[in-house]
Amino acid sequence: MRFGIEFVPMEPYWRTVYYSIQAERLGYDNIWVTDHFNNRNVYVILSTIANYTERITLGPGVTNPYLVHPVLTAQGVASLSEIAPGRVVLGLGAGDKTTLDMVGVEQKSPLTAVREAVELIRRQLARAKEGYSGSIFKASPSARFSFRVQGVIPIYIGAQGPRMLRLAGSLGDGILINACHPEDVASAVKSIREGAEEAGRRIEDLDIAAYTSFSIAEDGDKAQRAAIPVVAYIVAGSPPQILSRHGIAQEAAERIRSKLAERRWEEAFREVTDEMVESFSITGTPRRCVEKIQELRGKGITQFVAGSPLGPNVKEAINLLGRIIPNLRE
């Protein structure tokens, strides 16, 4: 099993680069950097990380086709691949509705938008001579890069709902499952398998990653508290069927969503319950985290991604997980 780590570029760039060097030295396989307008630019951060690392795979995790046109996304990862050939991946999803609402962007036809974005990005990376004509995105035959792309760039589709998961299974080189709970992961793998089989593909050929909200510390209570802000955003953006599975009322999610949109963060975070944290994050001591990761591996994942917040102390959290990765690989 591979192990990835997510960085949210909220802090000065040098700190994210430092954490990335630390992760590579500890044996992590992937670095995923989030792409939100209110943080530092994902490609600037990834390019800097690429220049200070040698082995680790890296890429956006995830970008979306609403704020950034797929042709520009293809340009971004193709340029990054020139700096780090053979080490670049692309995570693409429908985006975070709460964040998109902040800038007045409608998350319209997400399945179509993601499918067409993947198809168009692959066309661009291959410098295809044919044009592309979808219902949302179009490109003429002359819309080709004037440079050759270095290496193959796998596309991972970020997904949570069953229809997006089936699409990911039918189309993606990998899947980033936005889930932490074993029941959600098991259900997601089932949908991915269905999508793969419908497309005549083998699920064994796909890298299936659990992209989790993760928080580890020697003090389990501190680890849980650190996860609350991230869980608030996850609950706010979760589909109704996922909330229902965990007994979370749609009204509770809507209260959190509206308060986040109004930047009333402390009020939103107070709405997060222990049950929400348990359903939408992996938190606790190293021993407890090992148990939870092993449970997810048993549901069929091939990559575990430790996502934000990582822990109450990021540097120490990277070290704690890094120390247990060798045991989890066995």
Distance of CA 199 to CAs 30, 32, 150, 154, Å?
Answer: 27, 27, 28, 18
Beta strands in the chain (DSSP E): 2-7, 30-33, 57-60, 90-92, 132-133, 138-139, 155-159, 174-177, 207-216, 282-284, 303-310
Q: What is the pLDDT of residue 70?
A: 98
Examine residue 166 and state whether it is found in any structural domain, yes or no: yes
Examine residue 142 and state whether it is found in any structural domain, yes or no: yes
Distance of CA 201 to CAs 122, 165, 190, 205, Å?
Answer: 18, 14, 14, 8
User: For residues 167 and 214, what is the distance between their CA atoms, to the nearest angstrom?
Assistant: 26
User: For residues 318 and 330, what is the distance between their CA atoms, to the nearest angstrom?
Assistant: 19
Query: What CATH number corresponds to the domain at position 119?
Result: 3.20.20.30
- The answer to whether 207 and 303 have CB atoms below 8 angstroms apart is yes
Rounded to the nearest 10 degrees, how much is the dihedral formed by the CA atoms of 161, 167, 169, 170? 170
Examine residue 33 and state whether it is found in any structural domain, yes or no: yes
**Domain total of the chain:** 1
Examine residue 242 and state whether it is found in any structural domain, yes or no: no
The domain containing residue 8 runs over which residues? 2-220+281-329
For tokens 């998350």, name the residue: 107
Examine residue 42 and state whether it is found in any structural domain, yes or no: yes
Q: What is the pLDDT of residue 222?
A: 98
Examine residue 243 and state whether it is found in any structural domain, yes or no: no
Q: Helix-strand-coil percent breakdown of the chain, rounded to 5?
A: 50, 15, 35
Distance of CA 270 to CAs 96, 121, 229, 258, 266, Å?
Answer: 21, 41, 9, 13, 6
Q: What is the pLDDT of residue 184?
A: 94
Q: What is the pLDDT of residue 96?
A: 86
Q: What is the pLDDT of residue 97?
A: 82
DSSP letter at 313 equals S
- Reading the chain (330 residues) residue by residue, the pLDDT tens digits are 999 999 999 999 999 999 999 999 999 999 999 999 999 999 999 999 999 999 999 999 999 999 999 999 999 999 999 999 999 999 999 998 878 988 999 999 999 999 999 999 999 999 999 999 999 999 999 999 999 999 999 999 999 889 999 999 999 999 999 999 999 999 999 999 999 999 999 999 999 999 999 999 999 999 999 999 999 999 998 888 889 999 999 999 999 999 998 999 999 999 999 999 999 999 999 999 999 999 999 999 999 999 999 999 999 999 999 999 998 987
User: For residues 306 and 327, what is the distance between their CA atoms, to the nearest angstrom?
Assistant: 16
Examine residue 287 and state whether it is found in any structural domain, yes or no: yes
Examine residue 237 and state whether it is found in any structural domain, yes or no: no
